[in-house]
Chain A
Amino acid sequence: MIDWLTFIPRAVIQGVPLMYGSTGEILTEKSGNLNLGTPGIMYVGAISGVIGSFLYEQSCGGAAENMNGFLAVAIPLICCLGGSALMGLLYCFLTVTLRANQNVTGLAITTFGVGFGNFFGGSLIKLTGSEVPSIALSATSNFFRATLPAAENMGWFGQIFLSYGFLAYLAIVIGILASVFLKRTRRGLHLRAVGENPATADAAGISVTSYKYLATIIGSMIAGLGGLYYVMDYANGVWSNNAFGDRGWLAIALVIFTIWRPAVSVLASILFGGLYIMYLYLPTGMDNLAVKELYRMIPYIVTIIVLIITSLRNKRESKPPESLGLPYFREDR
């Protein structure tokens, strides 16, 4: 039987990168930009944070005592946000200003971003000429993983709700804030209008270009945090190439799963996090190793089934933003 007390925290930990990725992508898609570059942007966010904190740890001699807790968290955070914002900016420049095809641009960003992450992950030590065997930022990671001191004494409650680093809670907060923003604020309404029908929004005096730029860049920054969480919290500050895997694509799939609602994506991400590690908990027969590989299909098959079901229901609410994937060119009407 599944041990829920260990399963739920692990599902949450798996879910947090997906939460960041899908919230960022929802915000982006609400502006009409289908950013397939998110997987790459998450890599860039992760490696930017790693580069920042690697340089900081090196300058402190790698000893935790010399490090300032605030700087140890702030430097990777700022690097991560900066790196992913630049990627979002590049995407916007190509698709909004230069009106390039969104799918192709997104895939190019992903190729570049994943390559960028793996390249610097694999070459950072050589490039900086330092003498450590591998990138293991355990001192920085400890700051990211710090939990409330009382959490350990609170039994199952502490284990399920209080055992995570601050980035996990930030993900939930951002998800809820994004939901409120889209549903309850004027700017959120404007953003949705831009995604649904940019020509009408333009006629109503909303600046389509600036909404698209801002939504995509902020969305990219949120997605980038998912990569940072993965390295600093989940992986204990150890970078290994391609370890982040396909989580970026799953995050994009989650956007459809949640029908473009960030608050739902918080729960759905945890659910997917659970599906992601389900294979470790399902019973296997004699041939256990091979069957586990089949179990790992579960999240993808569930996504496919959800895709099919949403297309079958064909309700208005479950439709993507009307202009998703299309460039807007004012003079083209």
Chain B
Amino acid sequence: MKADAKKKEPLIHITRRKDVSLLRSIVIRAAAIVLALIVCALVTTFLTGENPIDVFGTILSGAFGTPRKMWVLGQEMAILLCVSLALAPAFKMKFWNLGGEGQILMGGLAAAACMILLGSKVESGAMPQWLLILIMVVASIGAGALWAFIPAFFKAKWGTNETLFTLMMNYVATQLVAYFVILWEVPKGAGKIGIINQSSEAGWLPVIGDYKYLLNIIVVLVLTVGMYVYLKYSKQGYELSVVGESERTANYVGINVKKVIIRTMLISGAICGVAGLLLVGGTDHTVTTTISAGRGFTAVMVAWLAKFNPLGMIFTTFLLVLLSRGANEISTVFSLNKSFGDILTGIILFFIIGSEFFINYQIHFRKSHKPEAAAAVPAEDPHKEALEQILRDAETAAQSVSKEETK
């Protein structure tokens, strides 16, 4: 009897929480991050032998140690945040845009193409600098949007799997960039373009004051606020979240799902194109196949962890960039491989991903059965009462149906 009761009731049983309080979700996430940081420190200690407390010191000095490092931190955050902002509306629509890499590359390639092809005109004075920059902005946004439009079109029209389509578009873009890099390489045979327009600085985005990265940061901040408003308060933002929740509902209430898919992806690609423009025109002044450095993928996780809330993304980008800059410092100090940052990023992601469960679900442990209580209860099926109730209900229902039929 006791064994039977135990068999029927599993050790743990899980229910979805009806309402999740903000405080609770913050506490759980914070706990997950703290745990993750402890694990990261232990892993670092295991590999390098450094005292775990010092590990955090190294991470912090890698991120904030000098004004230059802080600017780099800001710049890295800005670009990653920019890509995350781009992906957020697509993900909110449940369109898995894994093509951020390709869209950034195309934006960057377009900017570089303008700088290379039109740079001499600026040098000779035939074209003002502002016009070139304007052309670059338009070209980058257009190229990024085009790269997002292609998979969006097929998804909207025939439901083609967007996850793999966008993924493959990344590699097509990479090869396209590789092609142009060889075409434009300086000097011939170098295999890279090098700094474009080094002497004339044609097409270089303006530097505000002495701060090379300030413009990027300001642009991305404006985009962040814009995206927040767009997603939260605009009609289009509402439409895409309805499409994300249920395409059927969207159809039913008269939303043109195809149009929303294509429009949202155009925005997504356009902002990725901006990220490419900022990288090529603002900081690198050259284009390579690796300018996006995996940000198209990291941004997927940034956006998802922040639940597609642009303001939350500021925090998640900060966390990930801080960690990767810190890991960079650790690998430099101990002359280890730079990929150390990816391991730490992975660990922290696993913890945050896992913590979602404890926010959304509640675990009930089986209550311990007291032996005497179990003996006192007569050997009766615990479900008997409920079953009888169901039978009674069924009978009354059947009676009412037959009454209606006789009428």
B182 in the interface (beta carbon within 8 A): yes
- Residue numbers in A under 8 Å from B169 (CB-CB): 300, 304
Determine the residue in chain A with the shortest Cβ distance to B353: A100
| Bound-complex Cα distance A36 to B47 (A) | 28
| Bound-complex Cα distance A287 to B16 (A) | 62
| Bound-complex Cα distance A127 to B341 (A) | 17
Question: Which listed residue, B167, B180, B304, B336, touches A123 by the CB 8 Å rule?
Answer: B336
B164 in the interface (beta carbon within 8 A): yes
| Bound-complex Cα distance A324 to B30 (A) | 31
- Residue numbers in A under 8 Å from B25 (CB-CB): none
**Is there an interface contact between B336 and A99, defined as CB atoms closer than 8 Å?**
no
Given A108-B349, A115-B345, A126-B335: A331 touches B16 (CB 8 Å cut-off):
yes
- Residue numbers in B under 8 Å from A114 (CB-CB): 339, 342
Number of residues from B at the complex interface, CB < 8 A: 54
**Is there an interface contact between B356 and A100, defined as CB atoms closer than 8 Å?**
yes
Q: Secondary structure of the A side of the interface?
A: helix
CB distance from A190 to the nearest CB of B (A): 21
Question: Which listed residue, A93, A112, A123, touches B345 by the CB 8 Å rule?
Answer: A112
**Is there an interface contact between A121 and B337, defined as CB atoms closer than 8 Å?**
yes
A297 in the interface (beta carbon within 8 A): yes
Query: How many of chain A's residues touch chain B, expressed as a range?
Result: 35 or more
**Is there an interface contact between B179 and A294, defined as CB atoms closer than 8 Å?**
yes
A252 in the interface (beta carbon within 8 A): yes
| Bound-complex Cα distance A294 to B174 (A) | 10
A308 in the interface (beta carbon within 8 A): yes
Binary per-residue interface labels of chain B (263-281) against chain A in the complex, 1 for a CB within 8 Å, 0 otherwise: 0000000000000000000
CB distance from A272 to the nearest CB of B (A): 12
**Is there an interface contact between A115 and B164, defined as CB atoms closer than 8 Å?**
no
Question: Which listed residue, A122, A287, A290, touches B337 by the CB 8 Å rule?
Answer: A122
**Is there an interface contact between A332 and B16, defined as CB atoms closer than 8 Å?**
yes
**Is there an interface contact between B160 and A98, defined as CB atoms closer than 8 Å?**
no
**Is there an interface contact between A111 and B346, defined as CB atoms closer than 8 Å?**
yes
Task: Report A119-137 residues with CB < 8 Å from chain B CB.
Answer: 119-123, 126-127
Identify which of A101, A256, A297 gathers the most chain B CB atoms within 10 Å of its CB: A297
Determine the residue in chain B with the shortest Cβ distance to A34: B163
**Is there an interface contact between B161 and A107, defined as CB atoms closer than 8 Å?**
no
CB distance from B145 to the nearest CB of A (A): 18
Given A115-B340, A300-B168, A308-B158: A101 touches B349 (CB 8 Å cut-off):
no
- Residue numbers in A under 8 Å from B164 (CB-CB): 252-253, 256, 303, 307
- Residue numbers in A under 8 Å from B176 (CB-CB): 294, 297
- Residue numbers in B under 8 Å from A94 (CB-CB): 350, 353-354
- Which stretch, B215-223, B242-250, B294-302, touches the partner chain A? B294-302
B200 in the interface (beta carbon within 8 A): no
CB distance from A210 to the nearest CB of B (A): 14
Binary per-residue interface labels of chain A (9-42) against chain B in the complex, 1 for a CB within 8 Å, 0 otherwise: 0000000000000000000000000101000000
**Is there an interface contact between B47 and A112, defined as CB atoms closer than 8 Å?**
no
- Residue numbers in A under 8 Å from B180 (CB-CB): 290
Task: Report B165-179 residues with CB < 8 Å from chain A CB.
Answer: 165, 167-169, 171-172, 175-176, 178-179
Determine the residue in chain B with the shortest Cβ distance to A253: B164
**Is there an interface contact between B343 and A116, defined as CB atoms closer than 8 Å?**
yes
| Bound-complex Cα distance A98 to B96 (A) | 21
| Bound-complex Cα distance A97 to B341 (A) | 27
- Residue numbers in A under 8 Å from B16 (CB-CB): 329, 331-332
Determine the residue in chain B with the shortest Cβ distance to A93: B354
**Is there an interface contact between B354 and A123, defined as CB atoms closer than 8 Å?**
no
**Is there an interface contact between A100 and B357, defined as CB atoms closer than 8 Å?**
yes
- Residue numbers in A under 8 Å from B178 (CB-CB): 293, 296
Question: Which listed residue, B171, B298, B335, touches A297 by the CB 8 Å rule?
Answer: B171
Determine the residue in chain A with the shortest Cβ distance to B289: A293
**Is there an interface contact between B340 and A108, defined as CB atoms closer than 8 Å?**
no
- Residue numbers in B under 8 Å from A290 (CB-CB): 179-180, 182-183
Given A90-B350, A107-B297, A116-B343: A304 touches B165 (CB 8 Å cut-off):
yes
A6 in the interface (beta carbon within 8 A): no
B64 in the interface (beta carbon within 8 A): no
CB distance from B104 to the nearest CB of A (A): 16
- Residue numbers in A under 8 Å from B159 (CB-CB): 311, 314
| Bound-complex Cα distance A127 to B350 (A) | 25
**Is there an interface contact between A122 and B336, defined as CB atoms closer than 8 Å?**
yes
| Bound-complex Cα distance A110 to B101 (A) | 15
Task: Report B1-46 residues with CB < 8 Å from chain A CB.
Answer: 13-16
Given A98-B357, A105-B353, A107-B301: A115 touches B342 (CB 8 Å cut-off):
yes
| Bound-complex Cα distance A253 to B160 (A) | 13
- Residue numbers in B under 8 Å from A293 (CB-CB): 175, 178-179, 182
**Is there an interface contact between B301 and A296, defined as CB atoms closer than 8 Å?**
no
| Bound-complex Cα distance A103 to B340 (A) | 23
CB distance from B190 to the nearest CB of A (A): 12
Task: Report A33-60 residues with CB < 8 Å from chain B CB.
Answer: 34, 36
Task: Report A255-290 residues with CB < 8 Å from chain B CB.
Answer: 256, 287, 289-290
- Residue numbers in A under 8 Å from B154 (CB-CB): 307-308, 311
Task: Report A229-267 residues with CB < 8 Å from chain B CB.
Answer: 241, 246, 249, 252-253, 256
| Bound-complex Cα distance A111 to B305 (A) | 15
- Residue numbers in A under 8 Å from B163 (CB-CB): 34, 36, 103
**Is there an interface contact between B161 and A241, defined as CB atoms closer than 8 Å?**
no
CB distance from A110 to the nearest CB of B (A): 7
A323 in the interface (beta carbon within 8 A): no
**Is there an interface contact between B337 and A104, defined as CB atoms closer than 8 Å?**
no
Question: Which listed residue, B167, B336, B342, touches A112 by the CB 8 Å rule?
Answer: B342
CB distance from A160 to the nearest CB of B (A): 29
What 5 A-B pairs come out closest when comparing CB atoms? Answer: A115-B342, A112-B346, A122-B337, A118-B339, A98-B357
Interface CB pairs A-B, < 8 A, 12:
A34-B163, A99-B361, A103-B98, A104-B304, A111-B297, A111-B342, A112-B343, A119-B336, A119-B339, A290-B180, A297-B176, A311-B154
Binding site for B on A (CB under 8 A): 34, 36, 90, 93-94, 97-101, 103-105, 107-123, 126-127, 241, 246, 249, 252-253, 256, 287, 289-291, 293-294, 296-297, 300-301, 303-304, 307-308, 311-312, 314, 320, 329, 331-332
Binding site for A on B (CB under 8 A): 13-16, 47, 96, 98, 154, 158-161, 163-165, 167-169, 171-172, 175-176, 178-180, 182-183, 294, 297-298, 300-301, 304-305, 335-343, 345-347, 349-350, 353-354, 356-357, 360-361
